[in-house]
Amino acid sequence: MKSLLITGGGRGIGAATARLAARRGYAVCINYRSRQGEASNLVREIEGAGGRATAIQADISVDADVTRLFEACDQELGPMAGLVNNAGVLETQMRVEAMATDRLQRVFATNVFGAFACAREAVLRMSTKRGGAGGSIVNVSSVASRLGSAGEYVDYAASKAALDTFTLGLAREVAEEGIRVNAVRPGFIYTEMHASGGEPGRVDRVKEFVPMKRGGTAEEVAEAILWLLSDAASFTTGTFLDVAGGR
Ligand code: NAP
């Protein structure tokens, strides 16, 4: 059984990815930061359906937590075949001139530095140059990286642009070592993330700007992630799959 680590896997897009991955035969390591109840319930749900999963607390913006997270996954599920860098944060909508540096540090600490740290641990385990069996990394970016999120969260959009460039660079760096690195860029998806930005009903307000005239679901994003992870995408690396209804 291949094992897969999903950061921020207890709810939202991460949880939909964990459910689908378990159905496709992966043993799933579900990382969460604080919402233990949701992560534990998801493990029970996956096990109840005959799958294999474990939930591990770690704040991916803290380097020591990332090291501990990967060691715990190794012990509980065995050699890692995939990583989904899904955990991400945004903060209350505001213009750039109102943004304090500590906010930028929090957003980049999870969205960029956390993703780097997790990818580092994954490469250390999966690279064929280091005795690993290869694998696949999928970064969960956002169409915000190419649209900029003016008036809402330019800091978040810039962190996702950093994640895009990271995807390109790492993909080329490890291409000969059996590791593929790609990203999905979701558009407006119905999850709790918009409440963190101060507007729980945001998707319904902005869906008119989507060519398909609707928001997306976490399950629709999970399908794209699972394809990029799978051997069906074996010649695909350093690329981006937008899941945004044409936006
Ligand atoms: P969500 O419902 O707010 O869930 C965020 C998840 O990230 C939670 O599981 C949370 O853990 C986890 N998390 C946050 N900071 C963390 C940290 N430092 N360490 C570990 N886990 C952390 O968000 P979502 O909408 O599913 O977003 C998932 C990804 O999709 C994010 O990267 C987001 O930027 C991206 N995305 C979302 C949308 C959208 O419209 N929803 C659009 C484009 C991109 P806890 O449950 O423990 O709090």
Structure confidence at residue 185 (pLDDT) = 98
Those residues of the chain that have pLDDT short of 70 are none
Residues pairing with 55 in the sheet = 30
The CB of 35 under 6 Å from ligand 1? The reply is: yes
Residue nearest to atom 41 of ligand 1 (CA): 189
DSSP 8-state class, residue 208:
G
Tell me whether residue 231 is exposed, middle or buried, using C-beta atoms within 10 angstroms of its C-beta: 0 to 12, 13 to 18, 19 or more. Answer: exposed
Structure confidence at residue 27 (pLDDT) = 98
Per-residue pLDDT of 97-149, as tens digits, reads 999 999 999 999 999 999 999 999 999 999 999 999 999 999 999 999 999 99
| Whether 136 contacts 170, CB under 8 Å | no
Residue type, 157: A
Does the CA dihedral 98-35-17-170 come out positive or negative?
Answer: positive
Residue appearing with tokens 């307000």: 205
- Determine the distance separating the centroid of ligand 1 and the alpha carbon of 8, expressed in angstroms: 6
DSSP 8-state class, residue 109:
I
Residues pairing with 135 in the sheet = 179
Tell me whether residue 246 is exposed, middle or buried, using C-beta atoms within 10 angstroms of its C-beta: 0 to 12, 13 to 18, 19 or more. Answer: exposed
pTM of the model: 0.98
Structure confidence at residue 90 (pLDDT) = 97
Q: What angle do CA 59, 61, 67 make, to 5 degrees?
A: 70
Domain positions in the chain: 3-243
Instruction: Give the CATH number of domain 3-243.
Output: 3.40.50.720
Query: Which of 50, 61, 59 is CA-nearest to residue 25?
Result: 50
Q: Which atom of ligand 1 is nearest to the CA of 34?
A: 47
DSSP 8-state class, residue 201:
T
Structure confidence at residue 131 (pLDDT) = 97
The CB of 159 under 6 Å from ligand 1? The reply is: no
Residue whose CB lies within 8 A of the most ligand 1 atoms, among 5, 33, 62, for a mutation test = 33
Structure confidence at residue 210 (pLDDT) = 98
Q: What angle do CA 192, 198, 203 make, to 5 degrees?
A: 55
| Alpha helices per DSSP H over 49-174 | 63-77, 101-108, 115-126, 144-147, 154-174
The CB of 125 under 6 Å from ligand 1? The reply is: no
Tell me whether residue 130 is exposed, middle or buried, using C-beta atoms within 10 angstroms of its C-beta: 0 to 12, 13 to 18, 19 or more. Answer: exposed
Structure confidence at residue 21 (pLDDT) = 98
| Alpha helices per DSSP H over the chain | 12-23, 36-48, 63-77, 101-108, 115-126, 144-147, 154-174, 193-196, 202-206, 218-229
Just list the catalytic residues.
156
